[in-house]
Amino acid sequence: MTLTPAYGRDYRSKKAVLEDFDADKDFIINDITNRWDGKPVNKAQLVKAKQRVVYIRYGKLRRVMEVKL
């Protein structure tokens, strides 16, 4: 599942992405195979849904990082 920052946020580093992700800030689901495509989600919801790995785009959507939950 691929996520992008919500509400116009963008990040320059992986550290900044992880800080906000761990703080349960919202990210948008960008996965056309997922019925929740385009909806906001946070880390707590992903853990509850038993999602194991997510990919988060940052740096003007040019960089991708893998996060294991």
Q: Break the chain into its structural domains and give their ranges.
A: 2-68
Distance, in Å, from the CA atom of 34 to the CA atom of 18, rounded to the nearest integer, reads: 23
**What pLDDT shows up at residue 48?**
96
Burial 13-32 (b: 16+ CB within 10 A, else e): eeeebeebbeeebbbbbbee
- Token digits for 27? 């990210």
**What pLDDT shows up at residue 51?**
94
Q: Which pTM value belongs to this model?
A: 0.93
Distance, in Å, from the CA atom of 13 to the CA atom of 20, rounded to the nearest integer, reads: 11
- Token digits for 51? 């999602």
pLDDT tens sequence for the chain (69 residues): 999 999 999 999 999 999 999 999 999 999 999 999 999 999 999 999 999 999 999 999 999 999 999
* Helix/strand/coil for 21: helix
**What pLDDT shows up at residue 42?**
97
